[in-house]
Amino acid sequence: MKKFTWILAGIFILGFGGLAALAAIPPVVPAAYWGSVFYSDQKPVTSGTVEAIINGKVCNSIDIADGGYGQGKRLVVQDSSLSGGETVQFKVKIGSTEVLAKDSISWQAGDLTEVDLHLDMVSPTTSSTQTGSGSTSSGTATSTSGGSSSSSTNTTTTSSTNSGTSSSQGSSTAGSGTQTQSSPASVSPSAGNPATVSAGADVKCYNDLNTSHWAYSDIQTMVDRGILKGTSANSFAPDASITRAQFTAILARSLKLGSPQANAAFKDVKTGDWYYTDVMAAYQAGIVNGVGTAEFAPDAKISREQMAVLLTRAMQKSGKAPAISGEDVNAQLKIWSDKEQISSWADQDLAIAIKTGFLQGYPGNRLAPTATATRAEGAAMVKRYMMKVGLW
């Protein structure tokens, strides 16, 4: 009897200890996401389903309503196998069509993040005419100046105004691998100046940019709004390095900073330079600084972390930057495999840029902070920023 009592006591102790051990295991804290969903022509997706996928496994799904997902109930993602840093991909189902969004995010326990999704497909309402093995794009554009106007129908039209109204008409036909273009927009590029392609121009007119490029829709909409400009009439150079002057000009246009009120003591920024107005306006707004006491280095290449710092600074000036603690800074940066490359002076700004979503990484959890940024990356980052602060 005494032996049996000891056995019962042992079972009780082991059972209680096991329960205590189970109680000591912390629960998996979920991450939650929400945001808007856009077609490549920037029209909102109004219905469908968004799936969150990690390592090929669908973790959760939620319906799209009113152009977004998770607006009320969030898209919650949690799994006992997740340790942090896993890539979350988003698949959008619209009827019988399934499209993997171009946007992704690194999973972190407790993360609450707005993630806007962009699809590489046009909206059903976008009209297109197909004949044989090719397709023809069509549209109507009108330019007005001094009370007179000119319009064209069933052509892609670009216009340039100089002391009056001028317009040029052209058509672009794609099919069987052949593209033709006639009467390109009137542009006058100067040395180092990305030539102006007027707002409303079709980015498909650029010979070095097509719909397969990851930033195609971002670049197209930014050009349409007059924020981005090509390097010539027929070239955008999306994968070329972006300079300090070029990025500052994009940022100044997106913020609509206007004309500067006074001159600054930059020896390398003169009134005749194409970037003068944008650089000086951004400088006087407290967004950009020189690289020394009297130089701006307009032609110097800009890195990804430098772009993020300028955008974060602009967000702080607008009063819309989120508060962030030292613990949060560490949480946002520690997930990146190349976190040791982040400059110490950029830590907090990069953490804000990552948290708000306008700075995103590469496959393999790489942030590449010191890598020279491309013109496409600059366009995409500024567009995400504009959407976050309500300028879009």
Q: Tell me the per-residue pLDDT of 234-273, one tens digit each, with 9 for 90 and over.
A: 899 999 999 999 999 999 999 988 888 777 678 999 988 9
- Which residues does residue 136 pair with via DSSP β-bridges, in sequence order? 129, 173
Q: Is the pLDDT of residue 333 over 90?
A: yes
Residue from 14, 98, 89, 25 nearest 52 by CA? 89
Say how far apart CA 188 and CA 232 lie, in whole Å.
8
Average pLDDT, the chain: 75
pLDDT at position 22 over 50: no
pTM equals: 0.52
Q: 105 has which bridge partners?
A: 88
* Residue spans in the chain of domains classed CATH 2.60.40.1120: 31-118
pLDDT band at residue 298 using 50, 70 and 90 as cut-offs: very high
How far, in Å, CA of 38 to CA of 62, rounded?
Answer: 16
Name the residue type at position 104. S
pLDDT for 198? 33
Q: Which tens digits make up the pLDDT trace of 187-235?
A: 333 334 443 333 333 334 688 888 889 998 889 888 888 888 888 888 9
Give yes or no for residue 177 having a pLDDT over 50: no
Tell me which H or E stretch contains 280: helix 276-284
pLDDT at 5: 52
Q: Please tell me which residue, 70 or 242, carries the higher pLDDT value.
A: 242
DSSP bridge pairs for 91: 51, 100
Measured in degrees and rounded to the nearest 5, phi and psi for residue 273 equal -75, 145
How confident is the model at residue 231, as a pLDDT? 87
Q: Which residues contact 232 (CB under 8 A, 6 or more apart)?
A: 187, 189, 195
Token readout for 298 is 């307009």
For 112-137, what is the mean pLDDT? 63
Residue 260: other Cβ atoms inside 10 A: 18
Above pLDDT 90, what percent of the chain?
A: 33
* Res 352: pLDDT: 94
Most confident segment among 103-112, 128-137, 138-147, 372-381: 372-381
Q: How far is CA 10 from CA 7, 163, 172, 196, 256, in A?
A: 5, 96, 83, 83, 75
- pLDDT score, position 339: 93
- φ, ψ for residue 49, nearest 5 deg: -140, 140
pLDDT of residue 183: 26
Q: 140-145 and 148-153: which strand pairing?
A: antiparallel
pLDDT for position 25: 42
Give the pLDDT band of residue 1 (cuts 50, 70, 90).
low
Tell me the per-residue pLDDT of 55-66, one tens digit each, with 9 for 90 and over.
888 888 999 987
User: Of 389, 359, 381, 344, which Cα lies nearest the Cα of 247?
Assistant: 381
Mean pLDDT of 34-38: 88
The answer to whether 206 and 235 are in contact (CB under 8 A) is yes
Fold of 31-118: Immunoglobulin-like (2.60.40)
The rounded percent of the chain whose pLDDT value lies above 70 is 71
Q: What is the mean predicted confidence (pLDDT) over 36-47?
A: 86
Return the higher-pLDDT residue of 93 and 166: 93
- pLDDT: which is higher, 300 or 30: 300
pLDDT tier, 171 (very low <50, low <70, confident <90, very high otherwise): very low
Q: What angle do CA 122, 124, 128 make, to 5 degrees?
A: 75
Judged by DSSP in three states, 171 sits in coil
pLDDT at 106: 87
Distances (CA, A) of 203 to 198, 225, 390: 11, 12, 24
How many angstroms separate the CA atoms of 144 and 161, rounded?
9
